[in-house]
Structure 1
Amino acid sequence: MAGTSEWVRAVGDADFAAEVLASELPVLVEFTADWCPPCRMMVPVLAELAAERATELRVVTVDVDVNPETQAGYGVLSMPTLMLFSKGEPIWSAVGARPKRWLGQELTEALTRARAAA
């Protein structure tokens, strides 16, 4: 499945609620597809971020071709779509590939806002 590595786990319709919505840590979800070139560009970026931030967040991928219920449930139309979930709710999202530094900064800002609102 696209985007999986030692630090990035693939999840699907059957385990999305348990792996993402019920997670104690925030979870960055990449909605992806094997046929998507920008998604392939995100594989090393997500793997590095997942390894570097393993104590503060988890990173998972959802293959939209295999998991249409989750894709439809969150209105995902373009790949890659990135969504950050905290306490079972999406708190940030973006469409398209991005450099690691840029994505890291966006995640830090979103997590800071979520902590301040809690």
Structure 2
Amino acid sequence: MTVIKINAITVAADSGDELAHRFAARAGAVDGQAGFEGFELLKPVDDRTTWLVVTQWSDEESFQAWVSSPAFSHGHRSEAEREGKPAPAHVGVSSELWSYEVAGGSR
């Protein structure tokens, strides 16, 4: 059964574009992971400042294997850090990980 992981990241009102830029810089980094099925970065279209990072996995074990992998650590480093420079300030004010299973729907 597909497992959905949603990282709800709250940013300062003027930091959303930077969050999107940072995700674009590492686009595809998780694509080759076993059990990975998809990714979406959802931008709020109202006054909210919480962005949603939605990933789909074939099972919980695949997600946990990715989180424990060197690829996870590498993928969560900034462009600057990967180039040996100091890390920029965090964009997120807070984040929360939500977990779901698909219980119905259509495609």
Q: Same fold by TM-score, threshold 0.5 exceeded?
A: no
Give TM-score scaled by structure 1 length.
0.29
Point out the structure with the larger strand share.
2
Query: Rg: which structure is higher?
Result: 2
Point out the structure with the larger helix share.
1
